Amino acid sequence: MVIPHNPLKKTILILLLFLISASCKKPADPVVSEPEVKLTGILSTLQKVHPRLLLTDARLQELKTLSLTDARLKKYADAVVAQADKDIFKAPIQHVLIGPRLLDKSRECLSRVYDLAFAYRWTGLEKYLSSAESNMRVVCDFADWNPSHFLDIAEMTHAVAIGYDWLYNKMDPDFRNQIKSRMILLGLYEGSKAYASNAWWFKSEFNWNQVCNSGLAIGALAIAETDPGISLPLLTNAIAGLPYALKSYGPDGVWSEGPGYWEYATDYTVYGLASMQTALGDNFGLTKFAGLNVTGYFPIYSGGPTGYLLNYADAGEKSKLGAPDTEMWLASTYNNNHFSDFVHDQLTTGTANVFDVIWYRPYANSAAQRDLDKFFDGSVSLWLSRGSWTDPTTLWVGIKAGYNKVNHAHLDLGNFEMDALGVRWARDLGSDDYDLPDYFGALRYTYYRLESISHNVPLLNGQNQREDATSKFLKHAEGVAEPFSVLDFTEAYKDFASSVQRGLRVVDSRKAILVQDEFVLAKSAAITWGMTTDAIIVLTNSKQAELTLGGQKMTARILSPANAVFSVESAQQAAPQKLNLGVVRLLAKVPATTGNVTVAVLLSPQWPGSTTTTTTLQPLSGWK
């Protein structure tokens, strides 16, 4: 049977395959393997030998040979083995929940199994095999993998499946069957029940989709030659469910849930697709979805020269750049050296992990070919600009638009962040504790870090942006002397205004930024322009502030309107919310008024030997 390349046609065909597949019954514990049968449908091309997930023996030998002449690869592989040496001495994983989650234990098992199984395959040393088996035995002895929080099951299934597959030929057959039986009972059978009940994540547009569908697919592929009765329906469902989330990458590869969830969602997208490719020789057109081919640019541009990311949505506080697990795979799949070279650049100071090895792509020195400015369109849209790819003190700025109701969103349309002189001047506080009461429910926007008041956005009469608001970029310019973007976020303020637009322009040869907000106020409203910072702020007069951070200085000046004045307030909160100690807000306040108002603030880092930045204001309609 030939599967068409059109993703939608493939999805329909896969759903048909599911409808004709046999239903699964709960297995006994332990499970007796089914006799090997002729595999049909999407399993007909299954590679029956192990290992077949992600890192085949042929690829392993290729890497070993290359490492003899490629010092980078050898260094990366040595780093994974060194981590495995540490993993050997770690205490056994325990079934202890944090809040409603076993997730940190699933991830710990996943990390250990990958490191230890790779180290054994790379070195042949029995100590790594023994430790990997011990970790698998411990988690397979758990009473459950916490089915009430299905991410925990998906990641634990992934962990055990990789150990089962990578070490298949070295494990005692009885032990191997025990591991498989428990993976089926605690993982795959729970997945079958979830699909049968049409679990909400099955067709979700966000990270739960990729994690749960791909985690189950990896488990199904690990045992498919002996247990197709449970594997085929699981794999069929996973392939049918993934497109609902993969379309969220379109058109430009941005991820609406923020940089932390981009990494999580993309990791599992790649784990799943790569496992299908190595096990079946096909990923059923799922690599063809718009945006996947360019999503590798997202971490490259959304990180500033300080290493901090554009920290929107429920990203962790001060999230930093790393070497994403999946960039090497994206580089090879889409033949893009920018992605793999980004990993190499990050690893000049970071530590390689197993994925940097198994999907290794040699360094091509492509950074000089990257554009300085980038626009990403999607359900969240981003515009980013920088002065250099090689100067760690260069200016960098990012700003977001989109929809306030996307998953994990804060009320922060128009939020911007800024690096210069090696420090982050305008920052985002990130997520708060997920275990706060009703954090994802009715109380969500009563928490300071999620409200508009903590973000670098304007407020009207001190109120949050509307939760149902959308915004979009009206225009943007890249690769010009003064790159800029202009967004319309009227819907966020429509209780008071008939029009609100924000422009951000990089001025003075990419040495300063102008933030210009234009309001048409239909009702009387006081305007508060705000910026969150770790800097110490001294008001030199009512319209000028000097910020000091990390031994560097920046000047903020109000250019408009005449009656706006600066003030400073603390961002500190009381427990159980995060305290935000030492964080302050620079505010430019305009008394209540109606009609047309332009609030313009110039942020000028004090570069060595530079003079005071000046710029001429013009309406946003005139920005070209």
Taking only the tens place, the pLDDT of each residue in 352-401 is 999 999 999 999 999 889 999 999 999 999 999 999 999 999 999 999 99
Same domain as 351, residue 207:
yes
Give the domain range for residue 428: 373-622
- Provide the number of structural domains found in the chain: 2
Query: Of 331, 354, 369, which residue sits at a domain end?
Result: 369
CB-based contacts of 334, cutoff 8 Å, min separation 6: 292, 293, 294, 296
In a domain, 35, yes or no: no
pLDDT in tens, 216-228: 999 999 999 999 9
At 484, which CATH number?
A: 2.70.98.70
Separation between Cα atoms, residue 357 and residue 371, nearest integer Å: 28
Same domain as 347, residue 423:
no
Query: Of 369, 404, 436, which residue sits at a domain end?
Result: 369
Same domain as 327, residue 427:
no
Query: Of 369, 394, 425, which residue sits at a domain end?
Result: 369
pLDDT in tens, 503-536: 999 999 999 999 999 999 999 999 999 999 999 9
Separation between Cα atoms, residue 38 and residue 307, nearest integer Å: 52
The helix (H) or strand (E) run that includes residue 593 is: strand 584-605
Amino acid at 177: N
CB-based contacts of 517, cutoff 8 Å, min separation 6: 458, 500, 501, 502, 503, 527, 529, 598, 599, 600
pLDDT in tens, 572-612: 999 999 999 999 999 999 999 999 999 999 999 999 988 77
Contact in structure between 455 and 464 (CB atoms under 8 Å): no
Same domain as 200, residue 270:
yes
Phi, psi values for residue 224, rounded to 5°? -65, -30
In a domain, 34, yes or no: no
Same domain as 535, residue 436:
yes
In a domain, 29, yes or no: no
pLDDT on residue 322:
87
pLDDT on residue 11:
45
pTM of the complete model: 0.92
| Banded model confidence at residue 5, pLDDT cuts 50, 70, 90 | very low
Same domain as 170, residue 305:
yes
In a domain, 106, yes or no: yes
β-partners of residue 545 are 539, 556
DSSP one-letter code for 315: P
Same domain as 543, residue 400:
yes
20 or 210, which is more confident?
210
In a domain, 465, yes or no: yes
Return the structure tokens found at 614. Answer: 């000046």
Checking if the pLDDT of 34 tops 70, the result is no
Distance of CA 354 to the CA centre of its chain: 19
At 169, which CATH number?
A: 1.50.10.100
pLDDT on residue 36:
57
Checking if the pLDDT of 177 tops 80, the result is yes
Classified as helix, coil or strand, 81 is helix
Same domain as 457, residue 583:
yes
pLDDT on residue 615:
87
In a domain, 207, yes or no: yes
In a domain, 30, yes or no: no
Same domain as 346, residue 296:
yes
pLDDT on residue 37:
61
Same domain as 378, residue 363:
no
pLDDT on residue 300:
96
In a domain, 396, yes or no: yes
- Mean pLDDT score, 92-99: 97
Same domain as 141, residue 108:
yes
pLDDT in tens, 313-351: 999 999 998 889 999 999 999 999 999 999 999 999 999
Same domain as 440, residue 339:
no
